[in-house]
Structure 1
C-alpha cells in the first residue's frame, strides 16, 4: 500500500468524482457527447481510481479461542452484509498443536487447555478469513520458535515471526514481539531483543499497520486516561512510574509513525490518537480486550489500499534488512550491544527484488511437522516437539545467506541453513 494518510485517499476520491461531475457538465450544460472510454482511460493514466477500502478485523488477546472468534466474524458478516478481508490477532494466540505444545504454554497448569487451534493445524477446520497473529506472553513457545522468521502456522493462518514486515496486497503490516524460548523464561517478563528492535528501526518506507502485544509506554496520555484508570485502578501506579507498556514499542511508534497501531495484553478497550510533532502525521491506536462474552475483543477497521491481489506476501524492504543484519545475528540469549559499524555495508535491495521476481513474493507453503492432538486419545506427552527445518531452509535459500555464523543451538541452525 502506498500510504500517505487518509488525505491522499480522500484527494483521489474527490478527483475521481470531479471527473464524473465534469462529464455530466459536458452533457447537460454544453450538450457535448461523453466518451466514457476516454474518461476511463484518462482516469487510469492520471491514477484517479477511487480508493479501495479493505475491512480488517482486529482482535485483542485470543487465548486459543479460535472457534469463538471465527463464529463472531461470521455473525458480523451476516448481520452487516459485509465481507471481512483479514483478521489480525494481537497476541496470546496459543498455537497449541498437541500435548507437547501444551506443556510449553506459558501459563499456570490449571489454565492450560487444548482449545481449538489443533483443529486448524490438522486440517479438520480451515480459517474462513486470512489470519495473521503475533506472539504474546501466553504462548506455546516451542512452536513459535520454529517460525522465528514467520510462516504458516496452519492453512490460512500466518505467524508474523518475532519481528518484521509483511504485505497484504498493498497494505504494509509491521510488528514486533518475542515469546520465551526456554523454560527459564516461561514465568519471566517478555523482553524485546536489541537485535530485533534495531532491525525495525532501519525501516524507511511507510508502514500502514503496526502490531505489538504490549502497549507503547505513554500511549495512555493520548486517550481518555481518566476513564482508563477508573476501569483499571491498578494501572495508576504503573502510569505514575511510566512502567505501563513497552519502551521499545514507544521508540518504534515515534520513529515509524504507522497509520494504525494495534495492541492487546492489558485486557481492556482503549483508543488514542497521536499527532507526531515532527511531520504532523497521525497514528490511530487501538487496544482490545480478550475473547470473553461481553468484552470488546473485536473491531472492524476500514483501511484504504491501492488495488492489488489481496494475499499475504513477503516485503521487499524487510527481506533486504534481514539479510543485511545476518552478519550480526546474536548466538546467545544475552542482550547484545550492537554497533552500526558491525553491519554488512552492502545494499541488498536490488538483489532481493530480483529474487522475488524469480520465485514470487508468496510465503512458502504450510508444512505439518508434528502429529496434531487426537481428542479420542487421553492427553499424553508427545515424543517429539516438531521442527520446521524445511521452512527455514527454504527461506534461507531464497535470500541465500553466504556468511552465516556457526550457531550452537540446533534449532537456531535450522533457521540459518546455507545453500
Structure 2
C-alpha cells in the first residue's frame, strides 16, 4: 500500500480504562461489527489514561487509589501471556496507575504484547500519522520539579510521580513538524469553552466552580494544543463525554487562541482565562487550523459515553522515515519511532533529572531546557537519520519481556508492601539505540 493512497484510518478511543481490558476488547468487537467491519480491520485502539497496568498485587500498592477501591483488574493476564490484546493498543498514563511500572518505561515501550505506552511524553508513527502523548495530570506544585520519586514510594511520592513535568512539555514544544493525533489524560485548560460549555456546566456544576477558580484542566496541555495544533486531541479523566472544535488561524500562538474566547456570551466572560503560561508561536509547518477535541467517560458508564469508533481523516505526508506496511495486503502499518522525536530526546537527554535509586538525590541538570535550540535538534536529527533511519532501525522492536513476577494467588503480600524497582530492558535498549545515558538503570 502506497502512503499517497492512504486517506483515513479506523480508530477506537476509550476515555479511562480502569483495568477493564476484557470488557473493552469484547465491547469493541461488538461495536466494530455493528459498524459493518470486523475488529481485525481496526487500525488501533487509544486509551486515554487510568489504564492500570497492574502486573501483580504488589503493583496495587503503588497506585494512588484508596484501599477499598484497589482491584487487580484484567491487565495481569495480558502481561503474563494468558490473554492477548486483539488490536494494537496505544495508551498514555493517568493519575490512577501502577506508577512504578510506567516509570520503568519513561521513554515509552510495550506494557504487554500489542499494548504500547507512549511514556511520560512521546511521539510515535503509525504509517504517515504521528501520534503524540503526554501522561499524568497537571499540578502546579510539582510542574517545575524533577522526579525525586523512587521505590518505595511514600505518601507524597505516590501522588507526585504522575504529575506532569515541565521537562516533558518543553520537549514536545520543540517539535516543528505536524502531529495528527494528540493524547492526554486531563483536558487542556479552557478547551470546554470551544464546545457546548453551557450544557456541560449545567450537568456538572463542579466543573463550573473549577473553571471560575481557573483550575479546570491542564494549562501546559493548552500550550501544547496551541503549538502542535493536531487534527485530533483525545482525553479522559473528567468522566464525561464532551466534544469541542478549536479553530485557530495561520501563525497563531496559544495567547491568540485564548483571545478568541472574547466571543463567548457576556455571562461567561468572568471565567475567561488569564493565562499564566508563556505562549509560544508555532512554526509555519504546524499548519492545521482546526483541532477536533473529544473527551470520553470511564468504562462502566453507557458504552457510547466511554467508547467511540470512528474513521480519522488526515492528509498523509510523504516525508522522511515513513514506514512500510507490515505485510502485503494487510493494510496495517508497523508502529515506528518518530525521527524528529528521537532527535529531541537526544538533544534533551542531559536535562532529564531523576533521583539516584541509592541516594535518592537528584543530580543538577547539565542542560537547561531553555538552552535546547532548534539548531541542537537539527544536529541530533542528522545523527538520527544517519545512525537509525538509514540503518532501518525505526520500527519499534517487539521486545517485551515479563521481568516482574506475574500474578499468582500464592504470592504473599503484606499490606502496603511495595515491589522492588526492576530495570526494564526496553528502556535500556532504547537508550542504547540513541546512545544516551540510561538514568533508570540500577
TM more than 0.5? yes
Partner of 2:158: 186
Partner of 2:299: 291
How far has the Cα of 1:100 moved from its partner? 1.1
Correspondence 1:352 to 2:384: yes
- Looking at structure 1, the residues matched to 157 and 354 of structure 2 have their Cα atoms a distance apart, in angstroms, of 17
Correspondence 1:340 to 2:370: yes
Mapping 1:370-381, distance limit 5 Å: 370-374=404-408, 376-377=409-410, 380=413
Partner of 2:260: none
- Looking at structure 1, the residues matched to 354 and 211 of structure 2 have their Cα atoms a distance apart, in angstroms, of 35
How far has the Cα of 1:331 moved from its partner? 3.8
- Looking at structure 2, the residues matched to 156 and 266 of structure 1 have their Cα atoms a distance apart, in angstroms, of 27
Mapping 1:17-416, distance limit 5 Å: 50-82=5-37, 83-178=41-136, 181=149, 182-183=153-154, 184-187=156-159, 190-279=162-251, 281-295=289-303, 296-304=305-313, 306=316, 308-309=324-325, 310-331=333-354, 338-341=368-371, 345=376, 347-354=379-386, 355-364=388-397, 365-374=399-408, 376-377=409-410, 380=413, 384-385=419-420, 387-401=422-436, 404=437, 412-414=439-441
Deviations 1:120-147 (CA, angstroms, capped at 9, x unpaired): 0001100000001111010001100110
- Looking at structure 1, the residues matched to 162 and 422 of structure 2 have their Cα atoms a distance apart, in angstroms, of 23
SS of the residue aligned with 1:57? Answer: strand
How far has the Cα of 1:353 moved from its partner? 1.6
**Is 1:147–1:388's contact at 8 Å kept on the other side of the alignment?**
no
Deviations 1:309-348 (CA, angstroms, capped at 9, x unpaired): 2121110000000000112222456998945336694711
Deviations 1:29-84 (CA, angstroms, capped at 9, x unpaired): xxxxxxxxxxxxxxx9xx9x654321100100000000000001111122222232
Assess, with a 3 A threshold, how the Cα gap between structure 1 residues 135 and 334 changes in structure 2: closer, same or farther: farther
Computing the radius of gyration over CA atoms, which structure comes out larger, 1 or 2?
A: 1
**Is 2:106–2:120's contact at 8 Å kept on the other side of the alignment?**
yes
SS of the residue aligned with 1:412? Answer: coil
Count of residue pairs brought into register by the alignment: 360
How far has the Cα of 1:237 moved from its partner? 1.1
Assess, with a 3 A threshold, how the Cα gap between structure 1 residues 246 and 74 changes in structure 2: closer, same or farther: same
| TM-score normalised by length of structure 1 | 0.80
**Is 2:403–2:424's contact at 8 Å kept on the other side of the alignment?**
no
How far has the Cα of 1:188 moved from its partner? 5.3
SS of the residue aligned with 1:158? Answer: strand
- Looking at structure 1, the residues matched to 123 and 354 of structure 2 have their Cα atoms a distance apart, in angstroms, of 23
Q: Which is helix-richer, 1 or 2?
A: 1
- Looking at structure 2, the residues matched to 78 and 272 of structure 1 have their Cα atoms a distance apart, in angstroms, of 27
- Looking at structure 2, the residues matched to 330 and 383 of structure 1 have their Cα atoms a distance apart, in angstroms, of 23
Assess, with a 3 A threshold, how the Cα gap between structure 1 residues 188 and 414 changes in structure 2: closer, same or farther: closer
SS of the residue aligned with 2:132? Answer: strand
- Looking at structure 2, the residues matched to 172 and 399 of structure 1 have their Cα atoms a distance apart, in angstroms, of 20
Query: What runs of 5+ residues in structure 2 fail to find an aligned partner?
Result: 138-146, 252-287, 317-322, 326-332, 356-361
- Looking at structure 2, the residues matched to 189 and 396 of structure 1 have their Cα atoms a distance apart, in angstroms, of 21
How far has the Cα of 1:385 moved from its partner? 3.2
- Looking at structure 1, the residues matched to 307 and 50 of structure 2 have their Cα atoms a distance apart, in angstroms, of 14
Structure of greater relative contact order (alpha carbons < 8 Å, 6+ residues apart):
2
| TM-score normalised by length of structure 2 | 0.76
- Looking at structure 2, the residues matched to 79 and 302 of structure 1 have their Cα atoms a distance apart, in angstroms, of 14
SS of the residue aligned with 2:95? Answer: coil
What is the RMSD computed on CA atoms of the aligned residues? Answer: 2.6
How far has the Cα of 1:178 moved from its partner? 3.5
